[in-house]
Structures are given as structure tokens and as C-alpha cells.
Amino acid sequence: MGDALARLYGALLAETGDDPARDGLRSTPERAAKAFAFLTSGYDFDPAAELADAVFPSESDDMIAMKEVEIHSLCEHHLLPFFGHAHVAYLPNERIAGFSAIPRVIDCYAHRLQTQERLTVQVANALMELLDARGVGVVIEARHLCVMMRGVRKQDPVMRTSCLLGAMRTDRAARAEFLDLIR
């Protein structure tokens, strides 16, 4: 993706009417290509592989929650960033995930062209399946630069999306505990 993408960024800069060969922009196409490759690197990762060495047997059946996991992604509609936090909890079923595994799974999906709604569902489904959990809850709160910088140009809206699976959806007490833990 590197050289071809750098050429495209050079052409994009030229389309703005600026000179891609001027001092301040001379290396911009290569830097932008590297940045875009990083921001879309999630296509190269498999969530199952990220969890392969990070799932352990456990007798615990109490809820495990992680809140305020930083996320950043690119809106697939405008290629502008959205960023915020993911809050995740699961009800284990004889298996638990290492602490770093959940942020790695989130990044697998966040580092793709995304919608926040789909990101929320993908993370929940992956954790439900890969952990064989009794239930999973995911809430993502994010700010979108496509709302802040163009269109309606509003600075304060925070979009919240949620996905509740298994017992987190069907058991009112579990759902309430999850929501209390992430407040």
C-alpha cells in the first residue's frame, strides 16, 4: 500500500492547489500514507489470534468489566476520525481474558474503516464467541470529527452505542450491574 498510497496523497495535495514539492509538504505524502496504513491496520489482525494466548481457565462467574478503553477509528463515510472510549464487560463461562486482550480485540476492529454502530457490535460478537461468555456488554462513547468539522459543525455531541448479548441482554440484574460499573 505504501508507494501507491503516497502517490495518491501527492495527487490529492496537488488537487488542493498547493505544491506537493514545497518544503513543508515534500514528505507529507509518505507520512500520510504511513498514518493511513496504521489507522487501517486492523484488516491485518485476527481477533481470535489476538486472544489465542490470552485466555485462561477460571472458576469465576462474576462480571468482569473494563471501562474507558481509548478508541480511535476512521469514519467510513468521510474518512475523518472518531475517538472516545469503549466500556466492556462479560460474564465468564470457565474462561477469562488477560487484561490486554480486550483492548487488542477492540483495536482489531477500530483500526478499520468503520461506523461506530458496527464497531460496537463487532467487538461484542467477537468477545462473546471467542470467550464463550455467558454474556457481553459493550458501550462506546465517541466524538466524530465529521460532525465537528463539517456538516452541522457542533463541538459537543457524544454518540453512544451499545450492544448487549446473552445474559447481559436477558438478565435485568446483569444489565444493571454492567451499567452501574461503567457509570
CB-count exposure of residue 113 (10 Å: 0-12, 13-18, 19+): middle
Residue 136: per-residue pLDDT:
98
pTM for the full predicted model: 0.94
8 and 97 housed in the same domain = no
50 and 120 housed in the same domain = yes
Q: Catalytic residue at 111?
A: no
* Per-residue model confidence as pLDDT tens for the chain (183 residues): 679 999 999 999 999 999 999 999 999 999 999 999 999 999 999 999 988 899 999 999 999 999 999 999 999 999 999 999 999 999 999 999 999 999 999 999 999 999 999 999 999 999 999 999 999 999 999 999 999 998 888 888 999 999 999 999 999 999 999 999 999
State how many domains the chain has.
2
71 and 147 housed in the same domain = yes
51 and 8 housed in the same domain = no
Residue 1: per-residue pLDDT:
65
- Whichever domain contains 155, its CATH number is 3.30.1130.10
126 and 106 housed in the same domain = yes
Residue 12: per-residue pLDDT:
95
Phi, psi of 98 (to 5 degrees): -60, 155
Q: Catalytic residue at 78?
A: yes
58 and 35 housed in the same domain = no
15 and 84 housed in the same domain = no
Q: What does the alpha-carbon distance between residue 93 and residue 75 come to, in Å, rounded to a whole number?
A: 34
35 and 56 housed in the same domain = no
Give me the catalytic one of 85, 94, 129, 146.
146
Q: What are the distances in angstroms from CA 44 to CA 30, 39, 169?
A: 20, 11, 31
Residue 96: per-residue pLDDT:
96
Give me the catalytic one of 75, 108, 114, 163.
75
Q: What are the distances in angstroms from CA 177 to CA 91, 137, 172?
A: 11, 11, 9
Give me the catalytic one of 114, 116, 122, 163.
116
62 and 97 housed in the same domain = yes
135 and 51 housed in the same domain = yes
Close Cβ partners of 183 (under 8 Å, ≥ 6 residues apart): none
Residue 153: per-residue pLDDT:
86
Q: Catalytic residue at 108?
A: no
pLDDT per residue over 132-154, tens digit each? 999 999 999 999 999 999 888 88
Give me the catalytic one of 50, 108, 144, 163.
144
Q: Catalytic residue at 75?
A: yes
Q: Catalytic residue at 77?
A: yes
**Structural domain boundaries enclosing 15:** 2-39
Give me the catalytic one of 68, 70, 76, 117.
76
112 and 142 housed in the same domain = yes
69 and 26 housed in the same domain = no
Q: Taking a C-beta distance cutoff of 8 angstroms, is the pair 127, 82 a contact? A: no
